[in-house]
Amino acid sequence: MSAEEFIPQMRPLFGEEEKAELADYLTEDGFFTEFKRTELFEQQIAHYTGARHCIVVNNGTVSLTLAAIALGVGPGDEVIVPNYTMIASPNSVKMLGAVPVFVDVEPETLVMDIEKARAAITPKTKALMLVSANGRAPQVGIAAFQQLCSERGIALIEDSAQSLGSFYAPDQHVGRAGAIGSFSFSAPKIISTGQGGALITDDDSLADKLRRLKDFGRRSGGTDIHDSVGYNFKFTELQACVGIAQMKKLPERVVRKKVIWQRYAEGLAGIPEFKLFEHDLKLCTPWFIDSLAQRRDELAAHLKAAGIGTRTMYPPINQQKAYDQAGSYPVSELVGRDGLWLPSMIQLTDAQIKRICVEIRRFYGR
Ligand SMILES: *Cc1c(COP(=O)(O)O)cnc(C)c1O
C-alpha cells in the first residue's frame, strides 16, 4: 500500500487457506447444508474457548435470541442490557417479545455498570445480557455479575460478539461465565464467515435445546420427527470452510491486535484532548481501537480528508429512534458524543498506524 492509499476503518481478510478449504469441499461434496465441516468448526471454537459445547448458527443476533429462548425468556419478560452496545443485543430479545431494560456502563471498560444493573432488577427480570465491550471484562470482575445473577435467580447471557480471543482469566475465555455465551462472525469481527454466530455452553441440556431450536426442533438432520418447536437458523458448509481456515489464524491475530493497540498507545500518548480506552493486554484482545476524542466529528472529517477511515462508536441505545426512551446515561451519552473507532483491521501496518497518529497529532496541534 502506498502512503496515499485510503486506510479503511475495517476490512475482513481472507487468503489462500480459505480458498483451498472451499475448493476441497466443492470437489468433494455439494450439499452445502451444515455437516462435517460445520462440526469441525464447532469443535475448534469449543476447544479454543474451553467450552463443552459449541453450536453455530447463521448470525450473532439470532444466537442471542436462541440463548434467551433456551433460558426460558418469553414475551413480557425483562432482560437487562447495556445502553452502550450494538443494537443487536436488545433487538435479539425484542424479537421474542421480551423487554430490554437499558442500564449505563462503566466509564473505563464500557461494560455494564453492576450497581445500575442491580437497581434495574424487578420481579419481571428474567435475564441479564452482559456485553464484553471490545473484549473487556467488567472492572468489578466477572464474578460479581455471576453472584448478582445467581442471588437474584436470573440467567446470565454473555454477548461476547466482540470477544473471541479475550479471557477473564488465563483459563476462562469470555463467554464462559454465564449460562450461554454468544459470538459473531460478521464481516468486521476478529474472524469472519461473512455471516455467522456461535453459542457456547457447558450445560448438556441447554446445548440440546439450542441444537433443536436451530433445526426445526429435531435432534439431527434428515428426520421428520419433531418433539419440540424449533426454527431454521442453520449454518452452511461453505461458511464453515472459511471459518475453519480463519480459526487457524486466530492465535496470530490475537497477537497482532495487541501489538496494533500498543503502537497506537505509543503514537498517541500525551494528547490531553484524545484518549484511548485501556485494555489489560495479558487477557484482553482489542478488537477495535476505541477512543474518546474531543471535537470528534471534526477529527473524523480531518482524518477522512487525509485518507483515513474511522467510525463513530454506538450512540446510546435509548436515544435511537428504534427505542426512543427517556433516561440519563452519562457514560453512554459521552461515548455517543466523543467515541471514535480508529482503523482496526488485522492487515493494518505499523507504517499506517504511524501515519494515522501523525494526523491525529496534527489535528490537535500536539
Ligand atoms: C456484531 C455484534 C452483534 C451482532 O452480530 P451479527 O452476527 O452481526 O448478527 C451482536 N452484539 C454485539 C456486541 C456485536 O458486536
- Beta-carbon count within 10 A of 208 CB: 15
Are the C-beta atoms of 213 and 66 separated by less than 8 Å? yes
**Tens-digit pLDDT profile for residues 308-365:** 999 999 999 999 999 999 999 999 999 999 999 999 999 999 999 999 999 999 999 9
Predicted pLDDT of residue 297:
98
Cα–Cα distance, 81 to 121 (Å, whole number): 11
Rounded distance from Cα 225 to ligand 1 centre (Å): 33
Mean pLDDT of the chain: 97
Question: Do 49 and 300 meet the contact criterion of CB atoms below 8 Å apart?
Answer: no
Could you give the C-alpha distances from 52 to 203, 204, 234, 359, in angstroms and in order? 8, 8, 20, 47
Q: Which helix (H) or strand (E) holds 40?
A: helix 36-49
What atom of ligand 1 comes closest to residue 186's alpha carbon?
7
| pTM across the whole model | 0.97
DSSP state of 170: T
Q: Percentage of the chain with pLDDT > 90?
A: 96
Dump pLDDT digits (tens) for 228-239: 999 999 999 999
Which of 136, 166, 184, 235 for mutating ligand 1's site (highest number of atoms within 8 Å of CB)?
184
Return the pLDDT at 3.
52
Contact 111/82 with Cβ under 8 angstroms? Answer: yes
Is residue 177 within 8 Å of residue 145, measured between CB atoms?
A: yes
Domains by residue range for the chain, with CATH: 16-244 (3.40.640.10), 250-363 (3.90.1150.10)
Name the residue of 57, 86, 158, 235 whose CB sits within 8 Å of the most ligand 1 atoms, as the mutation to test its pocket. 86
Q: What's the pLDDT at 347?
A: 97
Mapped onto helix, strand or coil, the DSSP state of residue 44 is: helix
Q: Please tell me the distance from the alpha carbon of residue 295 to that of residue 271, in angstroms, as a whole number.
A: 13
Write the DSSP symbol of residue 4: T
Q: What's the confidence (pLDDT) of residue 33?
A: 94
State whether the beta carbon of 61 lies less than 6 angstroms from ligand 1: yes
Q: Return the best residue to mutate from 131, 164, 186, 191 for the ligand 1 pocket (most ligand atoms within 8 A of CB).
A: 186
Q: Binning pLDDT at 50, 70 and 90, where does residue 1 land?
A: very low
Residue 35, classed as helix, strand or coil, is coil
Percent of the chain clearing pLDDT 70 (strictly above): 99
Counting ligand 1 atoms within 8 A of each CB, the residue from 132, 162, 287 with the most, and so the one to mutate, is 162
Q: Which atom of ligand 1 is nearest to the CA of 64?
A: 10
Sign for the CA dihedral angle at 230, 233, 236, 240 comes to: negative
Q: Mind listing the pLDDT tens digit for each residue in 104-138?
A: 999 999 999 999 999 999 999 999 999 999 999 99
Question: Tens of pLDDT along 56-99?
Answer: 999 999 999 999 999 999 999 999 999 999 999 999 999 999 99
pLDDT in tens, 144-197: 999 999 999 999 999 999 999 999 999 999 999 999 999 999 999 999 999 999
The Cβ of residue 10 has, within 10 Å, a number of other Cβ atoms equal to: 17
Cα gap 196→184, rounded to integer Å? 6
pLDDT at 287 > cutoff 80: yes
Q: Is the pLDDT of residue 254 over 90?
A: yes
Ligand 1 centroid – CA 41 distance (Å): 19
The response to whether residue 184 sits with its C-beta less than 6 Å from ligand 1 reads: yes
CA distance 275 to 280: 16
Distance, CA 202 to ligand 1 centroid (Å)? 22
Ligand 1 centroid–CA 160 distance in Å is: 9
Cα(109) to ligand 1 centroid in Å equals 18
β-strand partners of 182? 159, 199
- Please work out whether the CB of residue 197 comes within 6 Å of at least one atom of ligand 1: yes
Identify the CA nearest to 8 among candidates 342, 361, 366, 289. 342
